[in-house]
Amino acid sequence: MARTTHTPAETLADPSPAPQGRRRERRKLVVPLVLTAAITGVAVLGVTRPWERPETADGKAPVAYGTVAVQKGSLSSGIQIAGTLGYDDPTPVVAAGHGIVTWLPAVGAVIRPGGKLYEADGRAVVLMRGSRPLWRDLGPGAADGPDVEQLKRNLIDLGYADGLGLAVDEKFTKGTATAVKRWQKSLGVKQTGTVTLGSVIMLPQASVRVQQLGVQLGAPLGSASAMTVSGTGLVVSVRPADNQLSRFKPDGKVEVRLSDGSTVTGRVRSLIRGGDNGPGGQGEGDGGDGGAGGDQQKTTVTIRLDDQRQARGTGPSSVMVTVVGDSVSDALIVPVTALLALDGGGYGVKVVDGTGTRLVRVRLGLIADAQAQVSGGLTPGTQVVIPK
């Protein structure tokens, strides 16, 4: 093995080994074990240290080392990942009944319970709030059921049952029929006291935003989606890699950099394995990498925002999400490649001292982005040895 020598200035080919009796050091994670065949045929297990690398086959000098200054500054263990800002909970609206579409709302319109979603054969189809779709006519003589309870709750909330003493239960009573007639009168349609199938669409959101139209004026209603609606609130979705998931804690704090450069805080609301395109659904983009197959099995993380007004200023767009982690300020920082694992435990760094080097034992703090916080025997600007 060739004898190594120090090189001038910033390049050190051979940081001086510690004198006999001094604690020896070895560079963490860069101590490969090599099996060397001896002339006698006996295998010898040796340890190659970075500063003892043999000459190359063509006789060139060993790989050189460089130096870097100890820095003083801030360090954070947070991670950043691209995401998508979009409207929450996209939901297709499947039109019940038959007829010709005679009116449609504009994309982006916000519709509240009691409002008109679309028209079929000139008759309004009204939005009401509920988790179960209507599957039958509801009127006098209708059997008890949860769909009756949903209808009665809406009639009460919309003010059509005032003074009737209507109870929220599964029974269609005379008072229910009276409230239905009041509702029909407000729509300007015949007051039958019966809600016919197809005249009401039940959706779970308090209010909806029209995201995309699925039919055109004059088209016949069928089983296809008449439109896609969403909630009116904006959320962020990200699709992290599996090794990043542990950073997203339930209700964990994040920071979102919007497309205009401003930031807004938020909290992790849910983590769902697989799933669709996240908030916004079709036409609003995707926070994933756009692949098929395995990409569909990624976990979608949904983040609720603390300031909706600020987010609405940019609208659906690409964003950058920072998961807030541990942080330190006014810390002494060195590259992790400068660290040496010491025999017996602990870490040290090689410090340039005149024309040579000396070993300085350090204590580790926060490690992030290939940088390490250190303390003990170092000052800002001190030159430490790193592999080039």
For residue 121, the model assigns a pLDDT of 94
For residue 62, the model assigns a pLDDT of 63
Question: In Å, what is the CA distance from 365 to each residue of 59, 339, 349?
Answer: 41, 12, 14
Does residue 136 carry a pLDDT above 70?
Answer: yes
For residue 95, the model assigns a pLDDT of 85
Domain boundaries, the chain: 11-76+327-387, 91-230
Does residue 125 carry a pLDDT above 70?
Answer: yes
CA-based max dimension of the chain: 106
Over residues 148-159, the pLDDT tens digits come to 999 999 999 999
Confidence of residue 76 (pLDDT cuts 50, 70, 90): confident
Architecture of the 91-230 domain: Orthogonal Bundle (1.10)
Helix axes of 174-187 and 146-157: crossing angle, nearest 10 degrees: 60
CB under 8 Å to 11, separation ≥6 — which residues?
64, 65, 66, 388
**For residue 49, which of 35, 34, 37 has the smallest C-alpha distance?**
34
Does residue 265 carry a pLDDT above 50?
Answer: yes
For residue 29, the model assigns a pLDDT of 41
For residue 322, the model assigns a pLDDT of 93
- Dihedral sign, CA of 346, 351, 357, 358? negative
- Integer Cα distance of 39 and 35 in angstroms: 13
Candidates 2.40.420.20, 1.10.287.610, 3.90.550.10, 3.30.465.10; CATH matching 11-76+327-387: 2.40.420.20
For residue 278, the model assigns a pLDDT of 56
Confidence of residue 53 (pLDDT cuts 50, 70, 90): very low
How far is CA 160 from its chain centroid?
A: 43
For residue 45, the model assigns a pLDDT of 29
Does residue 232 carry a pLDDT above 80?
Answer: yes
Kindly report the length of the chain.
388
- Show the tokens assigned to 281: 């659904």
**For residue 264, which of 299, 314, 300 has the smallest C-alpha distance?**
314
Instruction: List 302's β-bridge partners, or say none.
Output: 237, 270
- Integer Cα distance of 375 and 362 in angstroms: 6
For residue 296, the model assigns a pLDDT of 57
- Show the tokens assigned to 62: 């060993």
Average pLDDT rounded to a whole number, residues 73-99: 90
Over residues 275-318, the pLDDT tens digits come to 554 565 443 333 344 444 455 578 999 999 999 999 999 989 99
**Alpha helix ranges (H) inside the chain:** 146-157, 174-187, 308-312
For residue 202, the model assigns a pLDDT of 96
Average pLDDT rounded to a whole number, residues 251-267: 95
For residue 36, the model assigns a pLDDT of 31
Q: Which residue has the tokens 């409002």?
A: 115
- Integer Cα distance of 147 and 165 in angstroms: 19
In degrees and rounded to multiples of 5, residue 197 shows phi and psi of -60, 130
Does residue 324 carry a pLDDT above 50?
Answer: yes
- Determine contact, residues 159/114, Cβ cutoff 8 Å: no
CB under 8 Å to 39, separation ≥6 — which residues?
none
**For residue 240, which of 141, 323, 329 has the smallest C-alpha distance?**
323
- Determine contact, residues 314/350, Cβ cutoff 8 Å: no
- Integer Cα distance of 190 and 173 in angstroms: 19
In degrees and rounded to multiples of 5, residue 285 shows phi and psi of 95, 180
- Show the tokens assigned to 350: 């090689």
Confidence of residue 5 (pLDDT cuts 50, 70, 90): very low
Q: Which residue has the tokens 């609301």?
A: 269
For residue 9, the model assigns a pLDDT of 37
- Dihedral sign, CA of 12, 17, 19, 23? positive
